[in-house]
Amino acid sequence: MSTHASIDTPVTPDVDELVGEWLTVPDLAEALGIDVVNVRQHLKDGYLISVRRGERAVISVPVDFVQDGVIVKKIPGLLTLLRDAGYDENQSLRWIFTPDDSLPGTPMQALVENRHTEVRRRAQSLAF
Protein backbone atom coordinates (compact mmCIF):
# COMPACT_ATOMS: atom_id res chain seq x y z
CA MET A 1 0.00 0.00 0.00
CA SER A 2 1.05 3.58 -0.44
CA THR A 3 2.60 5.56 2.37
CA HIS A 4 0.74 8.82 1.92
CA ALA A 5 -1.87 8.36 4.63
CA SER A 6 -2.08 11.18 7.16
CA ILE A 7 -2.38 10.84 10.91
CA ASP A 8 -2.68 14.57 11.50
CA THR A 9 -6.19 15.33 10.23
CA PRO A 10 -8.54 16.80 12.85
CA VAL A 11 -11.97 15.19 12.95
CA THR A 12 -14.94 17.24 11.82
CA PRO A 13 -17.89 17.35 14.24
CA ASP A 14 -20.23 15.55 11.83
CA VAL A 15 -17.79 12.68 11.34
CA ASP A 16 -17.14 12.44 15.08
CA GLU A 17 -20.88 12.03 15.61
CA LEU A 18 -21.40 9.60 12.69
CA VAL A 19 -18.64 7.26 13.84
CA GLY A 20 -19.60 7.41 17.51
CA GLU A 21 -17.06 5.09 19.16
CA TRP A 22 -13.32 5.43 18.70
CA LEU A 23 -10.12 3.67 19.69
CA THR A 24 -6.87 5.42 20.56
CA VAL A 25 -3.64 3.97 19.20
CA PRO A 26 -2.86 2.07 22.45
CA ASP A 27 -6.44 0.73 22.59
CA LEU A 28 -6.25 -0.31 18.95
CA ALA A 29 -2.94 -2.08 19.58
CA GLU A 30 -4.55 -4.00 22.42
CA ALA A 31 -7.65 -4.85 20.35
CA LEU A 32 -5.47 -6.19 17.51
CA GLY A 33 -2.93 -7.89 19.78
CA ILE A 34 -0.01 -5.97 18.27
CA ASP A 35 2.29 -3.25 19.53
CA VAL A 36 1.80 0.49 19.06
CA VAL A 37 4.63 0.65 16.50
CA ASN A 38 2.78 -1.81 14.27
CA VAL A 39 -0.47 0.17 14.64
CA ARG A 40 1.33 3.33 13.54
CA GLN A 41 2.75 1.42 10.57
CA HIS A 42 -0.78 0.23 9.62
CA LEU A 43 -1.87 3.88 9.68
CA LYS A 44 1.14 5.03 7.67
CA ASP A 45 0.62 2.26 5.11
CA GLY A 46 -3.06 3.12 4.73
CA TYR A 47 -4.51 -0.14 6.08
CA LEU A 48 -6.50 2.05 8.46
CA ILE A 49 -7.25 5.75 8.67
CA SER A 50 -7.31 7.95 11.71
CA VAL A 51 -8.25 11.45 12.74
CA ARG A 52 -7.25 13.58 15.69
CA ARG A 53 -9.97 14.05 18.31
CA GLY A 54 -10.55 16.04 21.46
CA GLU A 55 -8.69 18.81 23.22
CA ARG A 56 -5.47 16.81 23.17
CA ALA A 57 -5.86 15.88 19.47
CA VAL A 58 -5.53 12.15 20.18
CA ILE A 59 -5.08 9.90 17.15
CA SER A 60 -8.28 7.87 16.90
CA VAL A 61 -9.63 5.07 14.69
CA PRO A 62 -13.29 3.97 14.48
CA VAL A 63 -13.93 1.03 16.83
CA ASP A 64 -16.02 -0.57 14.06
CA PHE A 65 -12.88 -1.12 11.97
CA VAL A 66 -11.91 -3.93 14.36
CA GLN A 67 -13.95 -7.06 14.91
CA ASP A 68 -12.90 -10.16 16.84
CA GLY A 69 -9.31 -8.94 17.16
CA VAL A 70 -8.72 -8.25 13.45
CA ILE A 71 -9.25 -5.41 11.01
CA VAL A 72 -12.61 -5.88 9.28
CA LYS A 73 -12.06 -7.64 5.99
CA LYS A 74 -12.12 -5.30 2.99
CA ILE A 75 -11.47 -2.10 5.02
CA PRO A 76 -7.92 -1.63 3.69
CA GLY A 77 -9.06 -2.07 0.08
CA LEU A 78 -12.04 0.23 0.55
CA LEU A 79 -9.80 2.92 2.04
CA THR A 80 -7.51 2.64 -0.99
CA LEU A 81 -10.49 3.08 -3.35
CA LEU A 82 -11.66 6.14 -1.44
CA ARG A 83 -8.15 7.67 -1.46
CA ASP A 84 -7.95 6.99 -5.21
CA ALA A 85 -11.26 8.86 -5.59
CA GLY A 86 -9.65 11.85 -3.86
CA TYR A 87 -11.34 11.46 -0.49
CA ASP A 88 -9.47 12.64 2.61
CA GLU A 89 -9.83 11.00 6.03
CA ASN A 90 -12.98 12.88 7.05
CA GLN A 91 -14.64 12.41 3.66
CA SER A 92 -13.82 8.70 3.71
CA LEU A 93 -15.19 8.22 7.21
CA ARG A 94 -18.29 10.24 6.34
CA TRP A 95 -18.91 8.01 3.30
CA ILE A 96 -18.29 4.78 5.25
CA PHE A 97 -20.55 5.70 8.18
CA THR A 98 -23.41 7.58 6.46
CA PRO A 99 -26.63 5.57 6.19
CA ASP A 100 -27.69 4.74 2.64
CA ASP A 101 -31.26 3.50 2.25
CA SER A 102 -30.38 1.79 -1.03
CA LEU A 103 -27.76 -0.45 0.63
CA PRO A 104 -29.54 -0.57 3.25
CA GLY A 105 -27.59 0.68 6.25
CA THR A 106 -24.12 2.16 6.14
CA PRO A 107 -21.25 0.91 3.99
CA MET A 108 -19.58 -0.11 7.28
CA GLN A 109 -22.56 -2.27 8.23
CA ALA A 110 -22.51 -3.83 4.78
CA LEU A 111 -18.82 -4.73 5.15
CA VAL A 112 -19.41 -6.32 8.56
CA GLU A 113 -22.34 -8.27 7.09
CA ASN A 114 -20.12 -9.50 4.22
CA ARG A 115 -21.97 -7.42 1.61
CA HIS A 116 -18.74 -5.88 0.38
CA THR A 117 -19.31 -6.31 -3.36
CA GLU A 118 -21.89 -3.53 -3.54
CA VAL A 119 -19.82 -1.27 -1.26
CA ARG A 120 -16.77 -1.78 -3.46
CA ARG A 121 -18.77 -1.10 -6.62
CA ARG A 122 -20.08 2.16 -5.19
CA ALA A 123 -16.64 3.25 -4.01
CA GLN A 124 -15.14 2.50 -7.44
CA SER A 125 -17.79 4.67 -9.10
CA LEU A 126 -16.78 7.67 -6.98
CA ALA A 127 -13.61 8.13 -9.00
CA PHE A 128 -15.51 8.65 -12.25
Q: Are 107 and 78 in contact (CB under 8 A)?
A: yes
Q: Are 66 and 32 in contact (CB under 8 A)?
A: yes
Residues β-bridged to residue 24: 60
Q: Where are the domains of the chain?
A: 13-125
Whole-number Cα distances in Å, 15 to 2, 41, 91: 24, 23, 8
Task: Convert the pLDDT of each residue in 19-64 to its tens digit.
Answer: 999 999 999 999 999 999 999 999 999 999 999 999 899 999 999 9
- Could you tell me the pTM of the whole model? 0.90
